[in-house]
């Protein structure tokens, strides 16, 4: 198994990419800490992992709060003795996120606090734990919109994911000689609750679909498989990467420099 004897912490693990990844990591031998603000759904993921015969635990976490992020790392080490994989996946896409004129300051702040600050805080408290374990893998969920503009205006979300991508590169360079790898997973448009709530009309969905060469939305389990590669030792020479899994959308619209 690809994550045997490893301990993985996944934020935003009650649904979408986080849930699919937590389950897959467990199937591949990891002990999994499920971190989320949604306790009911988070505990359900833990139970699903237990049903697989694997070990898991839930910790209620608001990733925008330093005290919560510090606690989730301490909880992980106390529960399973170490931390090997940190998947900073929690994020939001606010329904009122729009262009710079229509987006309220409160929506901007909330989005940046969860999507960008949450990754910073996860790394702030998680990297010392990875050091104590002798190294490990950090995966930060960015997005294809960190590489090109979104067809549907979402200025706060796009800016937050650009911040995640830049932060990932810098942390990768800083910690490369500590056996700590830091990579960004850049999903394309997915058929997740998060995006489907944002693209709440057929017109909005079609405006996004028309740009995807493969002609469909991606699935959470497809992102989980990409995250598994980055979490495992198979990616031992991969750090600072933009791991793009997007159905070809950036290949169609990004011009090489």
Q: What are the residue ranges spanned by the domains of the chain?
A: 7-245
| pLDDT tens digit sequence for 161-208 | 999 999 999 999 999 999 999 999 999 888 877 777 767 777 777 777
121-129 average pLDDT score: 98
Structure tokens given for 50: 């237990």
Concerning whether 253 is annotated as a catalytic residue, the answer is no
pTM: 0.94
Structure tokens given for 249: 């959308």
Share of the chain above pLDDT 90, in %: 81
Residue 201 is predicted with a pLDDT of 75
Residue 211 is predicted with a pLDDT of 79
Q: Which of 58, 75, 80, 157 is catalytic?
A: 157
Query: Is pLDDT of 232 > 60?
Result: yes
Question: Residue 13: pLDDT band by 50, 70, 90 thresholds?
Answer: very high
Residue 27 is predicted with a pLDDT of 98
Query: Is pLDDT of 107 > 70?
Result: yes
Relative to beta strand 56-60, strand 7-11 is unpaired
| Least confident window among 55-64, 134-143, 207-216, 238-247 | 207-216
Share of the chain above pLDDT 70, in %: 96
47-63 average pLDDT score: 98
Residue 254 is predicted with a pLDDT of 61
Residue listed under structure tokens 């002990």? 31
Neighbours of 22 (CB within 10 A): 33
Mapping DSSP onto H, E and C, the string for the chain reads CCCCCCEEEEECCCCHHHHHHHHHHHHCCCEEEEEECCHHHHHHHHHHHHHCCCCEEEEECCCCCHHHHHHHHHHHHHHHCCCCEEEECCCCCCCCCCCCCCCCHHHHHHHHHHHHHHHHHHHHHHHHHHHHCCCEEEEEECCHHHCCCCCCCCHHHHHHHHHHHHHHHHHHHHHHHHCEEEEEEEECCECCHHHHHHCCCHHHHHHHHCCCCCCCCECHHHHHHHHHHHHCHHHCCCCCCEEEECCCHHHHHCCCC
Query: Is pLDDT of 70 > 90?
Result: yes
Residue 255 is predicted with a pLDDT of 59
From the list 242, 224, 161, the residue with the least C-alpha distance to 3 is 224
Residue 209 is predicted with a pLDDT of 77
Please check whether residue 77 is in contact with residue 128, taking contact to mean a CB–CB distance below 8 angstroms.
Answer: no
Residue listed under structure tokens 């990891």? 30
The third-level CATH classification (topology) of the domain covering 7-245 is Rossmann fold (3.40.50)
Phi/psi at 11 (nearest 5 deg)?
Answer: -90, 155
Phi/psi at 156 (nearest 5 deg)?
Answer: -70, -45
The average confidence (pLDDT) of the chain is 94
| pLDDT tens digit sequence for 130-160 | 999 999 999 999 999 999 887 788 999 999 9
Please check whether residue 193 is in contact with residue 102, taking contact to mean a CB–CB distance below 8 angstroms.
Answer: no
């Amino acid at each position: 198994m690809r994550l045997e004897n490893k301990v993985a912490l996944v934020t935003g693990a009650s649904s979408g990419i986080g849930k699919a990844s937590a389950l897959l990591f467990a199937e591949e031998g990891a002990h999994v800490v499920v971190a989320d603000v949604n306790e009911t759904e988070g505990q359900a993921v833990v139970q699903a992992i237990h049903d697989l015969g694997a070990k898991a635990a839930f910790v209620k976490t608001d990733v925008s709060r330093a005290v919560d992020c510090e606690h989730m790392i301490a909880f992980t080490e106390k529960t399973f003795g170490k931390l090997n994989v940190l998947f900073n996946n929690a994020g939001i896409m606010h329904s009122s996120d729009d262009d710079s004129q229509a987006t309220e300051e409160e929506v901007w702040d909330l989005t940046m606090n969860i999507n960008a600050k949450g990754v910073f805080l996860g790394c702030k408290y998680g990297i010392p734990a990875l050091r104590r374990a002798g190294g490990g893998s950090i995966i930060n969920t960015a997005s294809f919109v960190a590489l090109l503009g979104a067809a549907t205006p979402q200025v706060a979300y796009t800016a937050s994911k650009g911040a995640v991508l830049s932060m990932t590169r810098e942390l990768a360079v800083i910690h490369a000689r500590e056996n700590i790898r830091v990579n960004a997973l850049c999903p394309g448009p997915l058929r997740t609750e998060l995006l489907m709530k944002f693209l709440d009309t057929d017109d909005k969905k079609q405006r996004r679909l028309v740009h995807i060469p493969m002609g469909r939305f991606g699935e959470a389990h497809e992102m989980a498989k990409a995250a598994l590669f980055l979490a495992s030792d198979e990616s031992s020479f991969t750090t600072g990467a933009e791991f793009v899994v997007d159905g070809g959308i950036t290949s169609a619209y990004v011009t090489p420099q």
